[in-house]
Amino acid sequence: MTDPRRSIPSVDAIVASDAFLELIECYGRPRAVRAARAAVEYVRAQVARGDPVEGAADVGLYAVWAAGELLRGDVPSLRAVINATGVVLHTNLGRAPIAAVAAEAMAAVARGYSNLEYDIDEGTRGSRYDHCVDLLCELTGADDALVVNNNAAALVLALNTVARGAGVVVSRGELVEIGGGFRIPDILERSGARLVEVGSTNRTRLADYRTAIEVGGVAAILKVHRSNFRMTGFTEEVSLSELAGLAKESGIPLLHDLGSGLLVEADRLGLPEEPRPQDSLAAGTDLVAVSGDKLMGGPQAGILLGGREMVAALRENPLCRALRVDKVTLAGVEATLRLYRDGTQAVTDIPTLRMLAAPPSELEARAQEMVAALAAVGVQAVVRPGQGAVGGGTYPGATLAGATVVLGPGAGGADGLAGRLRTGDPPVIVRILDDCVVIDPRTVLPGQEEDLTRRVAEASRPSPEGQ
Ligand SMILES: *Cc1c(COP(=O)(O)O)cnc(C)c1O
């Protein structure tokens, strides 16, 4: 028997075929040739595995396959999706959608020149690190501040600046994994610091910290906020103010990895108590690290807040350059922070906060509207009480009472429907509960309803040629 791979046409033959002319015209020769090569490689691999490919000898097959690939190649890799999961800070879906004014500020700075490192009054060189500082100090009571790439970067910079080659005391109850392999002990080590573990998983006392510091070689105390899990039962931990007292007495700084970055009172959002950076500083922390895109609801950033000397040392660390933010981020952080000057405005204008605070009555009304819009295009759905989540590794276990739109499973069951919703344009990401697709209006942004209705209608009636 002859090797079936020998019947596969050559890339040259495919590219020279009439069927390929249009693709070359449309996408240019280099891209079209690359697609032809990929098609040949795909069929070769398939045949080599013993899977016969019908029409493998026909150049037309490769033209069709290449056309599909070239079309898909024009769809941006990173693109907008509709988050219908009800998880507000969905890490996989880009965490925080930012406020309109923040997006506008970012676009304006991105498109043109700015005074990123220019002092307009003096006509001299300025510093990118000056932007946002006054606002951050005003909002949190800090003496100085530094914005870096994200909270993880903030922690690396803080540890490397304060404790390179020295010990850092951390409670065993706080040696946590934040997510995506970001573990406090590893970060500490990579920052050049030495981990000094104290206490036990469930109980750590002030005396444990004191004893460890008395041994010597300790440059800082680190408190890590357990943002993504809860510890209950026989537990004990040392408060920030007690740790701050010990730090002062020992002549070393107290660092606080807070993470979430909530600036308004949690009860404004109807959420349980959550420490804010201003509370941490008031308790006597020397340096607090928070995330810009968790509960602050801004662009991805890490924010360090503390005393002047401490923050000056961070700025002078050569690593600061490697972790620095770009002008676009700074513009977005500044515009977001400005909204916090008025707490009420923050909750209405910052999408993250607005979605968290959305009352069940409003969500129920939006769910009813969605059901009516779906009925108008022939899709049956019902409104049911449902629960959203804060997400982003914050508020574990907390649920947000609301209302959801529940669709019948339809062809291929709930998984089939969810898959079709995902693969259209724009992709719609849903949750499946009790074998039904559930749409949570909480995270469907204003203006996305029409697209959502259209996509659900499309996905509910799968046409053989359309999918
Ligand atoms: C989320 C979080 C981080 C990491 O923040 P990024 O901005 O995602 O880098 C670090 N520490 C804590 C306590 C967190 O909650």
Task: Please give the number of the atom of ligand 1 that sits closest to the Cα of 301.
Answer: 7
- Does the beta carbon of 152 sit less than 6 angstroms from any atom of ligand 1? yes
For residue 254, count other CB atoms closer than 10 A to its CB: 26
Is there a single domain that holds both residue 259 and residue 303? yes
Clarify whether residues 86 and 200 are in a common domain.
no
**Can you give the pLDDT at residue 227?**
81
What pLDDT shows up at residue 467?
41
Is 428 within the bounds of a domain? yes
Same domain for 296 and 216: yes
Which numbered atom of ligand 1 lies nearest the CA of 224?
A: 13
Instruction: Please answer whether residues 324 and 280 qualify as being in contact, where contact means their C-beta atoms are separated by less than 8 angstroms.
Output: no
Residue 150 Cβ inside 6 Å of ligand 1? The answer reads yes
Task: Provide the pLDDT for residue 164.
Answer: 98
Q: Where among 331, 349, 367 does a domain terminate?
A: 349
Tell me, yes or no, whether 109 and 180 share the same domain.
Answer: yes
**Beta-carbon-side half-sphere exposure of residue 74 (alpha carbons within 13 Å):** 9
User: Which of 150, 255, 285, 291 for a ligand 1 pocket mutation test, highest count of atoms within 8 Å of Cβ?
Assistant: 291
- 378 with 420, same domain: the answer is yes
In a domain, 207, yes or no: yes
Radius of gyration, alpha carbons of the chain = 27
Residues 409 and 328 in one domain: no
Give the integer Cα–Cα distance in Å for 80 and 258. 29
420 lines ligand 1 (CB under 6 A): no
* CA triple 461-463-464, angle to 5 deg: 145
Query: What is the predicted pLDDT for the residue at 461?
Result: 83
Please provide the average confidence, as pLDDT, over all residues in the chain: 94
DSSP structure string for 350-371: SHHHHHHH--HHHHHHHHHHHH
Per the structure, the complete domain to which residue 407 belongs is given by 82-90+358-460
Mark whether 364 and 335 lie in a shared domain: no
> DSSP 3-state assignment of 465?
coil
Let me know if residue 408 belongs to a domain: yes
Instruction: Report the nearest-CA residue for atom 10 of ligand 1.
Output: 259
pLDDT tens-digit series, residues 316-334: 999 999 999 999 999 999 9
Give 3-state DSSP helix, strand, coil % of the chain, rounded to 5: 45, 20, 35
Is 281 part of a structural domain of the chain? yes
Shared domain for 167 and 243, answered yes or no, is yes
Q: What is the mean pLDDT of residues 354-363?
A: 97
CA neighbor of 318 nearest in space, from 160, 193, 131: 160
Q: Pick the residue whose CA is nearest to atom 12 on ligand 1.
A: 259
Q: Is 365 found in the same domain as 345?
A: no
In a domain, 465, yes or no: no
Cα–Cα distance measured from residue 308 to residue 235, given in angstroms and rounded to the nearest whole number: 35
Is the Cβ atom of 353 under 6 angstroms away from ligand 1?
A: no
Say if 271 falls within a structural domain: yes
Atom 5 in ligand 1: residue holding the nearest Cα = 151
Q: Residue 158 maps to which CATH number?
A: 3.40.640.10
Please give the model's pTM, rounded to 2 decimal places. 0.92
Pick from 349, 374, 403: which residue ends a domain?
349
Query: Tens digits of per-residue pLDDT, 100-148?
Result: 999 999 999 999 999 999 999 999 999 999 999 999 999 999 999 999 9
Domain shared by 115 and 198, yes or no? yes
For residue 395, what is the domain's CATH number? Answer: 3.90.1150.180
pLDDT tens, position by position, 184-227? 999 999 999 999 999 999 999 999 999 999 999 999 999 999 88
Q: Atom 1, ligand 1: which residue's CA is nearest?
A: 259
Do 263 and 130 reside in the same domain of the chain?
yes
Q: Is the CB of 393 under 6 A from ligand 1?
A: yes
pLDDT one-digit tens code per residue, 269-316 = 999 989 999 999 999 999 999 999 999 999 999 999 999 999 999 999
* Same structural domain, 126 and 245: yes
Q: Are 441 and 404 a contacting pair, CB within 8 Å?
A: yes
Q: Counting atoms of ligand 1 from 1, which one is nearest the CA of 153?
A: 9
Residue 227 Cβ < 6 Å to ligand 1: yes
Residue 290: how many CA atoms within 13 Å on its side-chain side? 29
Alpha-helix residue ranges (DSSP H) falling in 194-300: 206-215, 240-250, 277-282
pLDDT of the residue at 183: 93
Boundary of a domain, candidates 349, 371, 400: 349
Helix (H) or strand (E) holding 384: strand 381-391
How many domains are there within the chain?
3
